[in-house]
Structures are given as structure tokens and as C-alpha cells.
Amino acid sequence: MKFYIFLLSLNLAISENGFFGSQCDEGCVFAETVVITSESIKNFPSNCSRICANLEFNDNSNLSEIELLPMFQNLKELFGSLKFVNTNFESASFLASLAVIECDSGGFFKFENNQNMKEIGMKSLIRCVCDFEVSLAPKLEKLNFPLLKNFTHSSGNISQVEMSISNVSSNFCITFQEMQHFMMNENLFLKNFTGHFCKQPGKYCADVCEIESSNIYFRCEIMSGSIVVNSENQLISDALNTVKWIFGNLKIENTNMTKFHVLNSLEYVVSLDNSNAIEIVGNRELVEISIPNLKRVQTNQKRWLQIQGNNEKLTDFVIEQDQFCKTLTNYNGENQFVSEIDGKICDQQNSGGSNFGIIRISIIFIFSFFFTN
Ligand SMILES: *[C@@H]1O[C@H](CO)[C@@H](O)[C@H](O)[C@H]1NC(C)=O
Ligand SMILES: *[C@@H]1O[C@H](CO)[C@@H](O)[C@H](O)[C@H]1NC(C)=O
Ligand SMILES: *[C@@H]1O[C@H](CO)[C@@H](O)[C@H](O)[C@H]1NC(C)=O
Ligand SMILES: *[C@@H]1O[C@H](CO)[C@@H](O)[C@H](O)[C@H]1NC(C)=O
Ligand SMILES: *[C@@H]1O[C@H](CO)[C@@H](O)[C@H](O)[C@H]1NC(C)=O
Ligand SMILES: *[C@@H]1O[C@H](CO)[C@@H](O)[C@H](O)[C@H]1NC(C)=O
Ligand SMILES: *[C@@H]1O[C@H](CO)[C@@H](O)[C@H](O)[C@H]1NC(C)=O
């Protein structure tokens, strides 16, 4: 019995050293969790650019952000974990030089109950391979992660990374740029991700169009707002053929078009509220539609697409097509969003794919039957 326990703990020690030891120079490694205080900072290797440690800032961290700034100005890469809990800090911008944070399995990058925090403010952070969570930060109005776009291990290994933001200021907003970076990573799962988009019409890029009603603008690549195609504007709906990003949602309702093939550029629809990302309803004449290049969708409800009350032929048309009748999953393969067509959830389990599986299994079974005889 003792022998097994010994083996087990040896194994753990090896894996820990493996992760830490292989990443950092001696002298830049901390084995235990370090709570940063005026005492512990004395042993902190401020001249290491790469540190292996589980760093924590909490209510015992009796140093101001200004005092911390010089201590962390050389820190570019952190392997381990990083936690801010019960601090009075207004931001984490004393870590503004940190470009990489990578966690071991079970590691995290977490902000919990920081009542004065206004922004995270890590402007150099490019790569984060940790589950990221912010909760209870009632003054938090922005992340300020302008460069964060890589969620892949230094080894090149890809695994699922989760991001969750809850109980922040009602003014909390995400920039289009931040959201574009996040959405382009298939392994990043935005869980409990609420808030709104920062107001930035026109400034981010000339092609941002903010839609208040059913006005349709020409030559936009990025549109924000609730975009509606209806009988009043359907004649100019071709204008949507340049749109790649929708920050908001898209509704095609009560038109009398028969075909709608203009959404050829559309790749991402990101809704931060509880509306359906895409809704196609009450188009009595519509028999054909396509969104051939749609890559990813984000919404805060289970449904990403609702198709309802159109021409019956449209139902037959879309039900056959994977681009509509599909469940979107996260990187782990867990169901994330479903599509609903005429009140029914599109269930891929009942379509072609898994029947193939059954046929394959029976062929293998038949073969193995012959061989064993
Ligand atoms: C800060 O906290 C450390 C550890 O709790 C303590 O040793 C030190 O005296 C404190 N310093 C001040 C200035 O309160
Ligand atoms: C860090 O600075 C100390 C002295 O302040 C020095 O002894 C040590 O070699 C330095 N380490 C690195 C990695 O530069
Ligand atoms: C993300 O970083 C990893 C590790 O440095 C690198 O291998 C990968 O190419 C980067 N991916 C992108 C999209 O920049
Ligand atoms: C990368 O992933 C593979 C397969 O999941 C695993 O065997 C390997 O240990 C991983 N490497 C690292 C450095 O995490
Ligand atoms: C977060 O806010 C919700 C209400 O918006 C509240 O029900 C919940 O208790 C809060 N969570 C925490 C951890 O305080
Ligand atoms: C996240 O959302 C799920 C359901 O959507 C809920 O059960 C869970 O409590 C939420 N977590 C947080 C931290 O808000
Ligand atoms: C479609 O609706 C528009 C506006 O309501 C109307 O002017 C037009 O005649 C209708 N077209 C057909 C084919 O019904």
C-alpha cells in the first residue's frame, strides 16, 4: 500500500517539475503558491523575464499598484497560475509587460471579488493558455486585452480554453477587435459571456456600420446592431454581400423574396444578449437561402438559428443542408448551440453521419466473425 502511495507522489512531483523545470531558469521557479506581500516580494526574482510560479494577489497584498510596477516590469512570461482575489486594485496594469501566461492542467487565470477593479489592462498579453474567469468586479468596464489572440500551448498543443465573465459593471463592454480575436480561435469557449460591445462606430475601421433599425448600408465588412431584412428594404438587401462580421443579430422576416443568396461573405455572428443569432421567419415565398461561409456563432442562448413560418419548400431545402441543420459544439465536442427549424431542433444524431457509423461497425463485426472462424 505504502509503495503505491510513494509511486503516486513521485509521479506527481515529476510531472510538476517537468512542466516548471522545462520552462524556466533555476532561480525563476517557485514551487509553492506565492502571495505577494511586502515580505514575499523581497525574494521575488524581479529580473527574470520568464517565471514559473502560482502567483496570488489578495487582501494580504499590502503593496500598492505603483509599488508593484517596478517589481514586474521585466516579466514577460508566466508559467503556472495567476489569481487576484479580494484586492483593492484598480487594474492589473502593473503586469503590462506580460505577454504570455500558460497554465499547467488545473492552473487558472482568475479575478474574484475585486471591488475596485475598473479594467484588467494587460496591454501586452498576446497568448493565454489558461481558463480565464472574472467574477464580482462591479466596477469593471473593460478587459483591455487589445493583443490577446493566441490560446495555443507553446508546444503547439491545442486544448479547450474557457473564458467566463460575470457580475461586472452594467457598462462592461468588449471591443470588436477583442471579440474578433476571440472568435477566430476555435478552442476558446466563451462561457457566461455577457455585456455589450463598446461604442466605436467608424473609428475601428471605415467599414464598420452601426445599424439602428432596418436601414441597410453599403459595402460594410463589419456591422453592429440588429440587422433586419424585411419587405421594406429587401430590394437593396444585396448590400449585405460584403458583410463578414455581425456584432448583434440578423433577422430576415416577412419578405416576399423567393431566393436569398447574398450572405456569401458572412463568417461570424456574435450576439451578447439573448436574441437568436440568426432568425429567418415569416417569409412566405422564400424557397432557397444560403450562408455558405459561416464559421462560428456566439449567443447567450441554446439556439443559434431559428427558421419558422416560411414557405414549406424552404423547410425541405434547409433540412437537407449541414450549414443550417447543425449543432455547433465547443472544442471538446460538447453541444453548444442548436438550430431550430419549424419548431424542431435539428438533431444530427438522426441524420446521415451516425448511420454510417453503424454500417462500419457491422462490417467490422462481420469481418471479425470470419477471421475468428
Ligand atoms: C505586509 O504584510 C506582510 C505579510 O503579512 C507583513 O509581514 C508586513 O509587515 C506587512 N507590511 C506592512 C507595511 O504592513
Ligand atoms: C538577477 O539579479 C541578481 C542581482 O540583483 C543577480 O545576482 C542575478 O544573476 C540576476 N539574474 C538574472 C537571471 O539576470
Ligand atoms: C500561437 O502560439 C503558439 C506557441 O507560441 C504558436 O506555435 C502558434 O503558431 C501561434 N498561433 C498563432 C495563430 O499565432
Ligand atoms: C500534447 O498532446 C499530446 C496528445 O494529446 C500529448 O500526448 C502530449 O503530452 C502533449 N504535450 C504537451 C507538451 O502537453
Ligand atoms: C451575480 O449576480 C447575480 C445577479 O445578477 C446574483 O444572483 C449572483 O448571486 C451574483 N453572483 C455572486 C457570486 O455574487
Ligand atoms: C454560467 O451559466 C450557467 C448556465 O448558463 C449557470 O448554470 C452558471 O451558474 C453560470 N456561471 C457563472 C459563474 O455565472
Ligand atoms: C413584394 O412586396 C412589395 C412590398 O410590400 C410589393 O411592392 C411587391 O409587389 C411584392 N412582390 C410580390 C412578387 O409579391
Cβ–Cβ under 8 Å, residues 113 and 136: yes
Question: What element of type H or E holds 279?
Answer: strand 278-281
Name the percent of the chain lying above pLDDT 90. 65
Nearest ligand (C-alpha, residue 186) = 3
Distance 370 CA to ligand 7 centre (A): 66
CA gap 367, 41 in Å, rounded: 67
Best residue for ligand 2 mutational test, from 24, 28, 47 (most atoms within 8 Å of Cβ): 47
Does residue 230 have its Cβ closer than 6 Å to ligand 6?
A: no
Ligand closest to 153 (CA) is 3
Ligand 2 touching residue 46 (CB < 6 A)? no
Cα separation of 104 and 159, whole Å? 12
- Higher pLDDT among residues 257 and 105, named by residue: 257
Give pTM, 2 decimals. 0.84
CATH code of the region 6-197: 3.80.20
Q: Whose CA is nearest to atom 1 of ligand 5?
A: 167
The span from the CA of 276 to the CA of 249, in Å, is 7
- Asked if 6-197 and 207-351 have one fold, the answer is yes
Question: 181 C-alpha vs ligand 3 centroid, how far in Å?
Answer: 13
Q: Is residue 31 classed as helix, strand or coil in its secondary structure? A: strand
- Ligand in closest contact with the CA of 102: 3
Cα–chain center distance at 280? 25
pLDDT in tens, 60-82: 999 999 999 999 999 999 999 99
Closest ligand to residue 63's CA: 1
Q: Which carries the bigger pLDDT value, residue 233 or residue 345?
A: 345
Answer whether residue 371 shows pLDDT above 70.
no
Ligand nearest to the CA of 163: 6
Element at 211 (helix H, strand E) = strand 208-211
CB of 155 closer than 6 angstroms to any ligand 3 atom? no
Ligand 5: which residues within 6 Å by Cβ? 135-136, 166-167
Residue nearest to atom 11 of ligand 2 (CA): 47
**Residue, of 235 and 81, whose pLDDT is higher:** 81
For 174, the 3-state DSSP assignment is strand
Q: How far is CA 251 from the centre of its chain?
A: 23
pLDDT > 70 fraction of the chain, expressed in percent and rounded: 83
Q: Is the CB of 62 under 6 A from ligand 1?
A: yes
Ligand 4 mean position to 19 CA, how many Å?
A: 12
Contact of 245 with 267, CB cutoff 8 Å: yes
Ligand 5 centroid to 94 CA: how many Å? 28
> What is the overall mean pLDDT for the chain?
85
Q: Which residues are CB-neighbours of 260 under 8 A, at least 6 positions away?
A: 229, 237, 252, 283, 286, 288, 289, 290
Mean pLDDT (whole number) for 121-148: 97
Chain Cα centroid distance, residue 339: 20
Per-residue model confidence (pLDDT) at position 367: 41
Q: Is the CB of 39 under 6 A from ligand 1?
A: yes
Q: What is the DSSP code (8-state) at residue 119?
A: B
Q: Closest Cα to atom 6, ligand 6: which residue?
A: 192
Q: How confident is the model at residue 192 (pLDDT cuts 50, 70, 90)?
A: confident
Q: What pLDDT shows up at residue 366?
A: 39
Rounded to the nearest whole angstrom, what is the distance from the C-alpha of residue 275 to the centroid of ligand 2? 55
Q: Does domain 207-351 have CATH number 3.80.20?
A: yes
Per-domain boundaries in the chain = 6-197, 207-351
Kindly give the number of the ligand 3 atom that is closest to the alpha carbon of 154. Answer: 4
CA 295 – ligand 3 centroid, Å: 20
pLDDT score at 52: 93
Task: Pick from 110, 166, 336 the residue to mutate for probing ligand 6's pocket: most ligand atoms within 8 Å of its CB.
Answer: 166
Cα 78 to ligand 4 centroid, rounded to whole Å: 20
Nearest to 301 by CA among 324, 273, 326: 273
Per-range mean pLDDT, top range of 105-109, 123-127, 247-251: 123-127
